[in-house]
Structure 1
Amino acid sequence: MHLPMPTAAITPALSRKSATPHPIRAAVSVIFLALFMALIQLSPASAQVLSPGGGGEPPKVSQEDVKTAVKELLAASDPKPDPVTTGNPMVSSDELGFLMQPLTKTELKTEMSGWLKLLQGAVADLSAAELESFNLNAEIEKANADKPKPEEGAKPVLTPEQEAMAEKVGKLRETRTAISDRFREVMDAYENKGGAPEDTADYRTYVKEVGGVQVDTTNLRSALLTLKVWANAEDGGQRLARRLGTLLLWTVIGVAGGWLISLIVNMALKRTRFTSKLMRHFLRLWIARLGGLVGFLIGLSWIGTNMTPILAGLGAAGFILAFALQDTISNFASGLLILFLRPFDAGDEIEAAGVSGEVEKVSLFSTHLSTAENRKVIVPNNKIWEDVIVNSTGADTRRLSLEVEVDASKHSLEESETLLRQVMDDHPDVLDDPAPTLTLSAMTGDTYTFTCWPWVQTGQRDRVRWELVSRFGRELNVVKGATKAS
């Protein structure tokens, strides 16, 4: 008679697997185990045999024991895969990229665990070497305590043991840096294939905390040697210099490219009648600045900086600033409207927000005016845009309005009108088209009041106005203080 095997004996037997586990074998094992459990609980004969001394109560098998055994069987039949990219910790970035290309998000998660173990091992080796170097320096300092101190400014002298230890620490630091860089690339690949950034947050924090250079500040000779080794290391100072040079180069390229594009855009816009001087100045300035910013961001990406958190941070900061700086944003929007809708241009004389003057420039947030007294006035764009804007130089020509009072005792009505027309017609800067006009606006027993309307070029209006007033005074007996101009 064949007796059922105990649970403790059957679990290892079912856990044995061939080199290539198969899901069918796991299913058969689970079914066999379930039948075995049922047989133990239902067979009195089995209970007699299994119980000590051939008698007593049969062993009780709980449902949790069955679940535990099933989990062990499934785990044994389906082991976790091993990482495939950690075979060479000093693998190049390009080769690692090729190795990760066919991997899925789940497989890259396994790779991250493997690279974490490699980094932990490298950090452990480096920490042990740094501790050994610290103890060595302490022993040497203790031995030299009774010796005379070197002269001030003298170069520290290192023992052969210190130099060898520093070289060892430098090599281990290079290994740790290389593994950290590859680990970051694996995490980036995981996120690029749909992995959640939360899954890599702890890994990134660990890589950041174990990085850097530990300098023994209590020992000048050791500190100088550590910095020297780091500066000469391929993954230390040399890499930092290359990265800074690359970042600077891309920034310069961005500024130069933006400046060149701004010149081309400015030349093209000059040929059109749809843009103002203010718009051209604005585009020329900000295209160059934007080019520098784009070059800087490309440089950051080129040296291996993860741009995802930077861009996310910029977006979050912009969202917060939009609420905190509502008035500033309103000025910014008004500035854009002024630039695009062109109610005035640089050099125009305007009156708005209770201020009048000549427009010098319009920035993103304010308009700069110069008054007749040569005072500089800066007005927020929002105040100008929300107020009535009077542009005195918005057209190429302007009509002057001159009010003249003539002494009726010296000139007749017809003679006065003829002299006024002659003065306006004889002035070289008064336009023939439209022709100047005048009208008798008032008449008393002592005076005739005429209103004259000559047309002039906008840029010459002030000079022509006062020249006409002066000629009216010479040609006619104008009542003192009665000539008005507007």
Structure 2
Amino acid sequence: MFMALLCGALLLAAPAHAQDAETPPEESVSVPQDLTDETISNDELSLRVLPLTVEDLTALAAEWQAIAKERTVEVVGQQLALDAGEDAPNLKSDLETARAERRAAFAKLDTVVNALAAKGGDQAAVDQYRAYISAVSTGEAQSSDWGTLLSEGVRWATSPTGGLHLLIQIGVIVLALLVLFVVARMVRGGATRMVGRVPKLSKLLQSFIVMVVYWLTIAIGLMIVLSALGVNITPMFALIGGASFIIAFAMQDTLGNLAAGLMIMINRPFDEGDYVTVAGTGGTVKSVSIVSTTITTPDNQVIVIPNSKVWGDIITNVTASDTRRVDLVFGIGYDDSIEEAQRVMEGVVAAHPAVLSEPAPVIRVNELADSSVNFVCRPWTTRDDYWTVYWDLTRQIKEAFDANGISIPFPQTDLHVKMPSSGLPVAPVSAPSEQPGNSTYAANDEGVGDDDQ
């Protein structure tokens, strides 16, 4: 009986032992020893961690945190010995050496942690590493005296990895920005020449395209400079994407003006230098930006109109055509000769050098008004000579009418008075007025209506 139970137990345990034998043990992530060597430079470490995976970087970060911890323990021990007044030789220099080694360990730990965060490592672990570095650095600064802080500040300012490194980075940024602006100006000049060769492209659209090219060059160049300096620009895109919704909601009117400005530039209802009437204002278009149109009135007032009002209203472009018709109206008296007046006007119009022969001028009787017979005089001229022809013909036709005895009547009223045979004017007849007590009823009418009976 005992032997049977023992055999059964062995048979039940055999598969379990076989399964344990078949399951391979978990492989621990091995970190190359040279990556944890404290003599490795930070620049070399930055390059050596590029091919590592998240698991490799996690293990490497733990190794460097352990090294940083050991160096921190050494610094704390030597600091306590120095505070206790121990008279050991070279104690202060040993403390400075220990601090330098600890700073180097922290710098390399920070490099590994940044690589781990960039490759999508555990954010909680990344935060813990960074919190450890910050807490140790802050605690040491709070417990140090003024002399130590001053010496640390001077050391950081003169260190190739501290102040000098920051100064070099600032210089690189300033120089890169200057070069970037020079390159952007060169690109803008090239874009100006290229868009100038495109036929039927308005000046407004040309200016807009050149401006977009200029600022895009600056934006792309700035991102390249920041990336070259090791700045992670990926969060910037996330920030811009999140803020775009809020900005769009807060700037609805501005975005409406932006859309209207693009429609003006694409459809080209007017161009710079055109005389237009928009939003109830007439003047010469000085400039058109993304959000507004600037117009200069004939009396030299500068008016800025939002593009949404410009595009949403009637636009009259006076100078869109090369030629314009001058509309004039002249009146003569009813006693004057129509043929003579038309001959005089035709002669004056034909003699003016700025009047075009084609299309032919139109001079016709247009209206029999209350006080005059009105002619329309409609010559054609170039748009630049419009006001010259308008003012010259107004004066010259008036002078020609005077020279030929043709009157230009003014509004007048004829009063006709009828006289009786006695020669005295007829007295006006006033309407009879009702007096109290006087009966105004007809004969046999007592003032009783049907409704009173």
Aligned to 1:81: 29
Alpha-carbon distance, 1:303 to partner? 0.7
Following superposition, the deviation at residue 309 of structure 1 comes to 1.6
Aligned residue pairs total: 394
Which residue is equivalent to 2:429?
none
Name the structure 2 match of 1:269: 195
Trace 1:344-383 onto structure 2 (pairs within 5 A). 344-383=270-309
The corresponding residue for 1:145 is: none
Q: Which amino acid in structure 1 is aligned with residue 66 of structure 2?
A: G
Tell me how far 1:402 sits from its aligned partner. Answer: 1.4
Amino acid at match of 2:102: L
| Structure-1-length-normalised TM-score | 0.69
- TM-score between both structures, scaled by the size of structure 2: 0.73
Q: SS at the partner of 1:77?
A: coil
Q: Tell me, which stretches of 5 or more residues in structure 2 are unaligned?
A: 412-453
How do 1:43-442 and structure 2 match up within 5 A? Answer: 77-84=25-32, 86-88=35-37, 90=40, 93=43, 97=47, 100-101=50-51, 108-121=53-66, 123-124=68-69, 127-128=72-73, 131=76, 165-166=95-96, 168-188=98-118, 190=119, 197=120, 199-206=121-128, 208-209=130-131, 214=138, 215=141, 219-407=145-333, 409=335, 412-442=337-367
Q: Larger Rg: 1 or 2?
A: 2
Structure 1 residues 327 and 342: alpha-carbon distance in aligned structure 2, compared to 1, 3 A threshold? same
**Contact 1:350–1:391 (8 Å) recurs in 2:** yes
Q: Is the 8 A contact 2:333 2:371 kept in 1?
A: yes
The answer to whether residue 394 in structure 2 is matched with residue 469 in structure 1 is yes
1:479 to 397, 408, 425: 408
In 1, Cα distance between equivalents of 2:298 and 2:165: 59
Q: 2:12 aligns with which of 27, 35, 38?
A: 38
Q: Give the distance between the partners of 1:369 and 1:70, measured in 2 at CA.
A: 92
Give the drift of 1:176. 1.9
- 1:215-265 superposed Cα distances (whole Å, 9 cap, x missing partner): 559844333321211122222122222322333333333322222121122
Q: CA deviation at 1:83?
A: 2.6
Deviation at 1:292, TM superposition (A): 1.7
Contact kept? 1:255, 1:289, Cα under 8 Å: no
Task: Note closer, same or farther for the CA distance 1:378–1:80 as it changes in structure 2 (3 Å cut).
Answer: same
Identical amino acids, percent of aligned pairs: 22
Q: Distance in 2 between matches of 1:354 and 1:293?
A: 39
Taking a change above 3 Å as real, the CA distance of residues 436 and 206 of structure 1, as seen in their structure-2 partners, is: farther
1:448 and 2:363 aligned? no
CA distance, structure 2, for counterparts of residue 424 and residue 138 of structure 1: 110
Distance in structure 2 (CA, Å) of the matches to 1:333 and 1:131? 64
Residue identity opposite 2:257 in structure 1: N
**Does 300-309 or 400-409 show the bigger shift?**
400-409
